[in-house]
Amino acid sequence: EAGVAQSPRYKIIEKRQSVAFWCNPISGHATLYWYQQILGQGPKLLIQFQNNGVVDDSQLPKDRFSAERLKGVDSTLKIQPAKLEDSAVYLCASRLQNTEAFFGQGTRLTVV
């Protein structure tokens, strides 16, 4: 079974630039999450989708972060403009309801 796919694996940008990350969840998984993981910390939920609808985006910094899952399958997360403190690993995960979540390998973002 194919896992959660994320791209790119690594990205280095200058502050104030824009960046986008892509995630393709496991086929059939209705629930999709984006997490931000800063070095030495646990993953912090940014946004949760159920199919193409947003369930929880309470911790998404909406002035600069946006995410969409238009067809209820793959998803993109965008940062515009980026700040130094956005340097982190961005993890995408998917699951069936109330079962374990599967993670992609993440995108490591460095903002300089």
Partner 1 sequence: RKEVEQDPGPFNVPEGATVAFNCTYSNSASQSFFWYRQDCRKEPKLLMSVYSSGNEDGRFTAQLNRASQYISLLIRDSKLSDSATYLCVVNSMRDMRFGAGTRLTVKP
| Beta sheet of 5-7, edge-to-edge order | 5-7, 19-24, 75-79, 65-68
Nearer to partner 1, 15 or 44 (CB): 44
Calculate the CA 31 to chain-centre distance: 13
Positions in 40-59 near partner 1 (CB under 8 A): 41-45, 48, 55-56
Residue located via tokens 């939920």: 45
Nearer to partner 1, 17 or 105 (CB): 105
Residue located via tokens 């796919």: 5
Positions in 75-94 near partner 1 (CB under 8 A): 91, 93
Q: Is 101 in the site for partner 1 (CB under 8 A)?
A: yes
